[in-house]
Amino acid sequence: MNKFDYLPVRGIGWKYDLPGVGELPERKWSLEDVEPAPNQLDENYIELSTRTISVRGVGVLIGSITLVVGVWLSLWVFYDMLVAFSEGKGGGLDFLFMILGFAMAWSFIPYVKLDFVLPRDEPIRFNRLRRKIYVYRYRFDRFYVFSRIRWGVKPVVYNWDDLTAEVYRFYAPGCGGLIENVMLSVRNPITDQVIDRFIFTHDLYQGEAYWAIARLFMQQGPEALPKFVHPPRDWNDDDGLSPMHRLAPKVRWPTEIDLESRSAPATNDVR
């Protein structure tokens, strides 16, 4: 890994870090009503629900309209430019508007695509006996929109002790005002540089609760967790899901990672 593979120590909008992986959680009394509750829980691991985008369907709605407007504008300008050239007039400004129209349309294609290809859930499994986390990570690239290599589910495995939970705060007047996200960053234990960062929750309260649940489980085991009010959710079940969620791909862990993430290490496992 070279220096170009590392991420900024703090992302744009960072405000503060949540307590570290070794610190005892506070506000344990408020964890039982967290929603959604953990997907799965046993002696070996706990699975929490995460999502890259908080509301599905917005990208399709806004993006589709923008795509239509952008393509229509580009074609109209292109036609106007052809007429101008046929009459011996300059069309430099028209050409610029045509390029801007196509650029506007192209910039919204990833948002439309994400609404269809993102999995129903992007869970994270915390295995306390292996002291590792397993992230059902969906990779995408806004520039290489149609690349099969840069888009798709690519689960990753990290050491629990290398995690940091970070709070990010943005003010977006057109998107409900104040937005508070919780991200998980992964640091190289030798260089202390950030090698990955991904969304944990789109809500600060849920992020604090999830992080406290994960720390309680990893530090003390399932007996330290409260009895959750809400039942666990099977995201592969269509019941109660929105139409956009039903169209989304189901969660399919690779067999090897699925088995490892749910099991205890063998006595001769040195990892």
| 132 shares a domain with 38 | yes
| 172 shares a domain with 113 | no
The pLDDT of residue 184 is 98
Which residues contact residue 33 at a Cβ distance below 8 angstroms, ignoring those fewer than 6 apart? 228, 229, 230
| 98 shares a domain with 18 | no
The pLDDT of residue 259 is 97
> In which residue ranges of the chain is pLDDT below 70?
1-5, 27-29, 57-106, 172-176, 267-271
Given 67, 91, 117, the domain boundary residue is 117
The pLDDT of residue 26 is 73
| 197 shares a domain with 130 | yes
Q: Could you give the CA distance from residue 216 to residue 231 in angstroms, rounded to a whole number? A: 19
Work out the number of other CB atoms within 10 angstroms of the CB of residue 114. Answer: 20
Q: Could you give the CA distance from residue 257 to residue 271 in angstroms, rounded to a whole number? A: 14
**CB-facing half-sphere around the CA of 114: CA atoms within 13 A:** 25
The pLDDT of residue 27 is 60
Closest CA to 13 of 148, 176, 181: 181
Residue 148, in any domain of the structure: yes
How many structural domains does the chain have? Answer: 2
| 94 shares a domain with 7 | no
**Which residues on adjacent β-strands are paired with residue 187?**
194
What is the 8-class DSSP label of residue 203?
Answer: S
| 219 shares a domain with 179 | yes
The pLDDT of residue 116 is 85
Residue 193, in any domain of the structure: yes
| 225 shares a domain with 182 | yes
| 215 shares a domain with 107 | no
| 64 shares a domain with 102 | yes
The pLDDT of residue 152 is 93
Residue 98, in any domain of the structure: yes
Q: What amino acid is encoded at 12 in this protein?
A: I
Instruction: Give the structural domain span for 36.
Output: 3-53+121-262
Which residues contact residue 214 at a Cβ distance below 8 angstroms, ignoring those fewer than 6 apart? 46, 48, 126
